[in-house]
């Protein structure tokens, strides 16, 4: 892998005191905040769908509407270590999201929009409760990888790639195939590549045990 797909992956947790269903009018429900945020995210557009987004955030200047950006809400859950029942208000409801692009600023534009949705979730629910009890919002990162894609010129002039291709030909009798940007991957090699350190990620086919390759563990 010589091209690196940028990605942001993190969890947003809404937390509160929880309580009995009898307290539903006085205690804010983190599940409602999560639902509000997800409803907002469902209406978002990526830069390729709405190029005007490139002008919405003046501090993010390198977006490119020709480069696809993808995003999703991947998981929503309540903390399974706590005792929940149908008649309980949960204390902790979390949302995990993922967004990817070959352009780092496209990811930042997508992330900025998501952050507005997450804030809307907590603000909307807290505004309905005036008794002093409020929900809190916490962001828990587990993947912040900048994008890095080699240009055609870099691919043709890189001595590192030439050396790898030469070694591969000596061992296997054929020229090494270097993938194009459509086959970019989001791995830990993104970081050295993005700060200018020549980087190649070599995968021998080993996959993470039981999947979960993008999870906390």
Could you give the dihedral angle defined by the CA atoms of residues 34, 37, 38 and 40, in that order, rounded to the nearest 10 degrees? 160
Report residue 93 as tokens: 């409801």
- Match 């993010």 to its residue by tokens: 60
Report percent pLDDT > 70 for the chain.
88
pLDDT-derived band of residue 189, with 50, 70 and 90 as boundaries? confident
- Match 């706590």 to its residue by tokens: 82
Q: Both ends of the chain: CA-CA distance in Å?
A: 23
214 or 172: which leads in pLDDT: 172
Question: Counting Cβ atoms within 10 Å, is residue 124 exposed (0-12), middle (13-18) or buried (19+)?
Answer: middle
CB–CB of 14/134 below 8 Å? no
pLDDT at 1: 80
Secondary structure (DSSP) of 119-177: HHHHHHHHTT--SS---EEEEEEEEEE--B---HHHHHH-HHHHHHHHHHHHHHSSPPP
pTM of the model: 0.85
pLDDT tens, 1-19?
888 999 999 999 999 998 8
pLDDT tens, 107-158?
999 999 999 999 999 999 999 987 788 999 999 998 899 999 988 888 888 8
> Is 48 in a helix, a strand, or coil?
coil
pLDDT tens, 17-70?
988 888 878 889 999 999 999 999 999 999 999 999 999 999 999 999 999 999
> Residue 95 is inside which H or E element, if any?
strand 92-101
Q: What distances in angstroms separate CA 157 from CA 56, 83, 191, one per listed residue?
A: 37, 60, 22
Q: In sequence order, what are the residues at sequence separation of 6 or more whose Cβ sits closer than 8 angstroms to the Cβ of residue 37?
A: 12, 95, 117, 118, 120, 121
Q: What is the mean pLDDT of residues 147-174?
A: 84
- Match 């200018």 to its residue by tokens: 196
pLDDT at 204: 57
């Amino acid at each position: 892998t010589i091209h690196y797909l940028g990605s942001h992956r993190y969890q947003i947790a809404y937390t509160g005191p929880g309580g009995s269903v009898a307290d539903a009018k006085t205690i804010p429900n983190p599940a409602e905040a999560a639902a509000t945020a997800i409803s907002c995210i469902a209406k978002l557009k990526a830069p390729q769908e709405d190029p005007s987004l490139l002008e919405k955030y003046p501090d993010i200047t390198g977006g490119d509407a020709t480069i696809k950006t993808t995003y999703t809400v991947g998981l929503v859950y309540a903390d399974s270590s706590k005792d929940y029942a149908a008649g309980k208000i949960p204390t902790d409801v979390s949302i995990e999201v993922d967004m990817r692009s070959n352009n780092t600023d496209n990811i930042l534009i997508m992330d900025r929009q998501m952050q507005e949705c997450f804030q809307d979730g907590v603000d909307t629910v807290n505004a309905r409760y005036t008794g002093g009890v409020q929900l809190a919002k916490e962001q828990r990162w587990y993947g912040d990888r900048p994008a890095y894609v080699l240009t055609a010129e870099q691919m043709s002039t890189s001595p590192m790639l030439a050396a790898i291709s030469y070694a591969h030909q000596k061992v296997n009798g054929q020229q090494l195939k270097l993938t194009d940007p459509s086959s970019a991957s989001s791995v830990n090699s993104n970081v050295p590549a993005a700060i200018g350190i020549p980087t190649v990620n070599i995968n021998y086919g080993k996959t993470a045990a039981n999947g979960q390759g993008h999870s906390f563990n």
